[in-house]
Chain A
Amino acid sequence: MIQADVKLDTLGYFCPMPIIMTMKKIKGLTLGQVLEVVSDDEGIKKDMPAWCDTTGHQMVGLEEEKTKTGTIYKAFVKKTK
């Protein structure tokens, strides 16, 4: 279990909205804080590490949670710049 400082709900949103929401949210965080992005778009599994690679933030981890309505993905991003 990764501990996050801030949580961002992007449930129901498709690409590119979760990434854009992440970018906007992370601006308001302080260095070292971890953001938890909750999404039901499977694309985030690949998209979030790619976004971190390009922007220089750190991908701390990814958790999957099976629910009745589908899988929920939790991406943890540490603000490093």
Chain B
Amino acid sequence: MTIAQMDPAVTLADLQASKPDKVTIVLLSGDMDKAMAAFIIATGAAAMGMQVTVFFTFWGLNAIRRKGATSSAKDWLRQMFGLLNKGGADSLPLSRFHFWGLGTKMMQKVMQQNRMPGVPELMETALDLGVHFIACTTTMGLMGITKDTLIEGIDQFAGVTTYLAEAKQGSVNLFI
């Protein structure tokens, strides 16, 4: 029995010649720890001279929403949801031990004492280093989030195709 040799989608030689140095990250989570991981990777890659794009979708949008921003939707269901789903980079909850805010506050304190940058600082560094931010328009529409309730510096308001067009050229693709 012979094993058929399959043609790889991309040959190693092509890959080496094109030197892909693009990183794309999908941030779906609105948890503080996960957002931190996303921004640490994003800033680290940018510092290495790589081109980085972060696609913010669903709960991940909370990282780039202004603090205290609510839903602009007219129907009460989405308005209620907007009240419950708080945005703001400095108010993201921990994925574990949030304890109604107490655990997260304690973690923020520990980070401060150890000179560890939090999500707002990491995000600012990312923007400073030229990391591209894409906000998912589908989720924005679903949750009644408008452009004026997001932070400044969002490069594009787009959907999955824009993300995939970027990711296709990337050598590192992460879903967080």
Q: Hey, which bits of chain A sit against chain B, CB under 8 A?
A: 12-17, 19-20, 22-23, 50-51, 54-55
Contacts and interface: CB of A to CB of B under 8 A. Distances in A.
Nearest to A19: B47
A58 to B, nearest CB: 15
A12 B125 CA distance: 18
Nearest to B41: A16
Contacts of B114: 12, 14
Given A12-B115, A14-B115, A55 B43 contact: no
Contacts of A19: 44, 47-48
Nearest to B39: A16
A23 B46 CA distance: 10
Contact of B43 (A20, A22, A50): A20
Contacts of B40: 15-16
Contacts of B125: 20
Contacts, number: 32
Given A15-B40, A54-B48, A55-B49, A20 B115 contact: no
B141 interface: no
B170 to A, nearest CB: 15
Nearest to A14: B116
Contacts of A13: 115
Contacts of A55: 48-49
B117 interface: yes
A54 B48 CA distance: 6
A16 B49 contact: no
A1 B89 CA distance: 44
Interface string B145-160: 0000000000000000
B129 interface: yes
Contacts of B48: 19, 50-51, 54-55
Nearest to B122: A16
A54 B44 CA distance: 12
B44 A16 contact: yes
B172 to A, nearest CB: 12
B162 to A, nearest CB: 26
Interface centre among B47, B50, B116, B125, by most chain A C-beta atoms within 10 angstroms, is B47
